[in-house]
Amino acid sequence: MHINISPTKTEVAKNFSDYLEELIKENKTTHIALSGGSTPKVVFDYMSEHYKDVDWSTVHLYWGDERCVPPTDSESNYKMTVDHLLSKINIPKDNIHRVRGEDLPELEAGRYGKVLEEELPIVESIPQFDLVILGMGDDGHTASIFPHEIGLWDSTNNCEVAIHPDSGQRRITITGKLINNAKMVAFLVTGSSKAEKVRSIITKEEGHESYPASLVAPSSGELIWFLDEEAAAQIN
Ligand code: 6PG
């Protein structure tokens, strides 16, 4: 596990963009699962503005989770990514594999699970991403696996339907077997509200196992936390 701490969100965005640019240069094709929420916005804006030479034609984009809303909805992770990245870069349409949040969740979880089987290399009989980007909620959730549904992590399916504990919003999420089968996993976590869970998970405090983010342990061993000083305040 590597921990990369930067003073500000913008410097997290810069360090992560450097890391991603390098990864894309190294690979003939790079399959990336994107995270949702608000933290990626800063990174996507930074990358699309300052990394004009990235050859996105070699990159295939997927989502680690999506809200069950239409792609035009302000809650849509796809829409967030279009607004902050896809509308500003040159990437072939066929390289964008979005979750159809507007469709029936159970059917879409099945369909998207098949898309991953078809598009990704299969390693240890599990689809393998080159990189899974994850955020973490204040409650220790990651992707859309929340503490009250932590059992979804061990699902034998590639994707599952999850329910947001407060809003009841339905979500489509990849499961633990895909996350831990990835060649690399990168957490993008910023802000003081995350510091307590970051400390608990990284220092393996008593009870940390109840946080889905603590189950992230890629068999490749390649796990990197990109944190700002606020999120790292209790481990620094
Ligand atoms: C989502 C996510 C989720 C997110 C965390 C952190 O769709 O909401 O993928 O796992 O990464 O909730 O969200 P913030 O970056 O907004 O704090």
pLDDT at 225 over 90: yes
CA of 188 to the centre of ligand 1 (A): 10
The number of beta carbons lying within 10 Å of the beta carbon of residue 56 is 19
Q: What is the pLDDT of residues 113-159, one digit of tens each?
A: 999 999 999 999 999 999 999 999 999 999 999 999 999 999 999 99
Separation CA 43–CA 57 (nearest Å): 19
Separation CA 48–CA 40 (nearest Å): 12
- Which pLDDT score is estimated for 236? 74
Compute the average pLDDT of residues 65-79: 98
Which SS3 state, helix, strand or coil, does residue 90 take?
Answer: coil
Q: Ligand 1 atom closest to Cα of 144?
A: 10
Question: And the tokens for 69?
Answer: 């809303």
Torsion sign, CA atoms 168, 190, 26, 213: negative
Compute the average pLDDT of residues 11-18: 98
Ligand 1 site, CB within 6 A: 35-39, 65, 77, 135-137, 141-144
CA of 89 to the centre of ligand 1 (A): 23
CA of 137 to the centre of ligand 1 (A): 6
Which SS3 state, helix, strand or coil, does residue 144 take?
Answer: coil
Q: Phi then psi for 58, rounded to 5 degrees?
A: -95, 5
Task: Please state, for a pLDDT cut of 70, what percent of the chain lies above it.
Answer: 100
Adjacent-strand bridge partners of 31: 60
CA of 120 to the centre of ligand 1 (A): 24
**Model pTM score:** 0.98
